[in-house]
Amino acid sequence: MTEIKDIKVAVDAIVFGYQQNTLFVLLVKQKFGPFKGIWVLPGGFVLQQESLIEAVTRELQEEAGIKVNYLEQLYTFGDNINRDPRFRVISVAYFALVNPDNFALAQQNDTDAEEAQWFAISNIPQLGYDHNQIVKMAHQRLKSKLTYQPIGFDLLATEFPFSDLENLYSVILEQEIDRRNFRKKILSLGFVEETNAPSINNGSGRPARLFKFNKDKYYALLSNSFHFEIKFA
């Protein structure tokens, strides 16, 4: 007997947003299907003539009205053959980290997404399919990423007080870091530099000096696959 193969390929996007010392995840509410009215990750089926990255880029545009410059492939989910109650679906997940201030979420009436919304990572509802598992894995990957790849270019202002970078790491890692050790190590790597801009007064203590990223030194570090050990308080 010939076995009938009907396996569909989908993509899902885990877009993390960082704002006001909080990590968010972009979710959309399903308009149709078995999870109608339930929040899920943006995503959908890959069309016949498009690549995976084209598919996930299109789905984000259609369902949330946003375009992310860079998406990193996370994992392929398909071991659970019943992850979609309709039929067998294998999903390739991608994730990104952005500043929500740079995006205006649009509600697209011509897709299967009813609305799009940012949710704090600490307040993620029960999602459709296996999307809670996907978010959890993406969050763990993000934490691990901090040990070998500095982040912050798209999340902080062009010039920022060093405390903003410290807060960014603490929020994503969900643990208070050893700030003195962190500052010493970051500055020794050379990709964060003090600027000549006037200091800012945050209302407590002496004015804070401003820093900026040196992208040339940043990409040089990436090419050498450096390891950055973070100590906690």
Boundary-marking domain end, from 67, 99, 134: 134
Boundary-marking domain end, from 82, 111, 134: 134
SS3 for 26?
Answer: strand
Read off the pTM: 0.88
SS3 for 7?
Answer: strand
Is the domain of 62 the same as that of 33? Answer: yes
Residue 1 lies in a domain: no
* pLDDT one digit per residue (tens) for the chain, 233 residues: 556 577 899 999 999 999 889 999 999 999 888 888 999 999 999 999 999 999 999 999 999 999 998 899 999 998 888 888 888 889 999 999 988 888 888 766 567 788 999 999 999 999 999 999 999 999 999 998 887 777 777 788 888 899 999 999 999 999 999 999 999 989 998 889 999 877 766 656 667 889 999 988 888 877 777 777 788 88
Classify residue 216 by burial, with Cβ atoms within 10 Å: 0-12, 13-18, 19+: exposed
Task: Determine whether 50 is an active site residue.
Answer: no
Residue pair 16/99 in contact by the 8 Å Cβ criterion: no
Is the domain of 117 the same as that of 146? Answer: no
Q: Residue 233's domain is classified under what CATH number?
A: 1.10.10.10
> Which listed residue (115, 174, 193, 229) is catalytic?
115
Residue 178 lies in a domain: yes
Q: Residue 100's domain is classified under what CATH number?
A: 3.90.79.10
Number of domains in the chain: 2
Is the domain of 12 the same as that of 126? Answer: yes
